[in-house]
Structures are given as C-alpha cells and as structure tokens.
A = this chain, B = another copy of it.
C-alpha cells in the first residue's frame, strides 16, 4: 500500500466523517495531525503533549471516541492497561507492532507482502479450526530496543 500524504489523509478523514454525519472540527483535526506525526500508537496523555495549545482532557477523550466510532482511529491497550490510539489501517496501511519491554515504546512494523500473506493463511487456518469467521489479526513482537540494550 502506497502511503497517503498528510493532506490526502485529512481529506479521507473528512469524507469518512461526512458519511457518518459528523463534523471535522479543529479539535478532531488536531488529533489526526498529532497521530500522523507520531509513528505509532499514543496514549491520551501523550496526545495532549503532541497537540499544539492547551486541550481540555475531556474534549480530547470525546474527540478520540468520535474518531474511534467512525473508524478513523483504532484503540488498544498497552501493558499497563492504558488506552493507546493510532490512525486506522485503511489510512496508514496494515501493520504490526514492535514493543520494547524496557521503555514501553511502540513502533509500527509493516511485513513484506509475502510474509503478510503467509501470516494471513495461518490465521485463517486457526480460525477455521475453531469455528470462527476470521476478521483480522494482531501480531506484537516483544523485545529490547537498541537504546535500552545499554
């Protein structure tokens, strides 16, 4: 998947929100911009720092909820149970995560087409064997990053 420019992404988001009859306001745009700059999932607290100017935390959480509900961003929880948000895969491409055991940093990782295909087959097989209709998969690689490795 060729990556979209920042401008194209905002355009895609605007259209998606329009379909959901939701306005693409300044606050919501600020969240998308912040997540665009970050190259991995970020917590609400981290996003507050990434966004220029003061953002009320309650408003930020509502922006995140709206964007999540309309499929613009995805939400998952890190090892400490804190929610982390990132742009949805239809905007930035399917990818996985490399997590540092020490500092907790999370980076996006895209597999090669061949690797992703193999993983996809594997996952389908697993779902079938248990009677599930597979809708997706998540792979997290855990390790110690170069900086933490002393």
Q: Tell whether, in the assembled complex, residue B127 and residue A98 are in contact, meaning their CB atoms are under 8 Å apart.
A: yes
Count of chain A residues with Cβ under 8 Å from any Cβ of B?
Answer: 39
Q: Copies per complex?
A: 2
- Complex A-B: 25 CB contacts under 8 Å: A77-B77, A77-B78, A77-B79, A77-B81, A81-B81, A81-B82, A96-B126, A98-B126, A98-B127, A98-B132, A109-B126, A109-B130, A111-B122, A118-B118, A118-B122, A119-B122, A126-B141, A132-B144, A132-B145, A132-B146, A134-B143, A137-B139, A137-B142, A138-B142, A139-B140
Q: How far is the CA of A83 from the CA of B80 in the complex (A)?
A: 9
A82-B81, A126-B98, A139-B138 known; A131 and B111 CB under 8 Å?
A: no
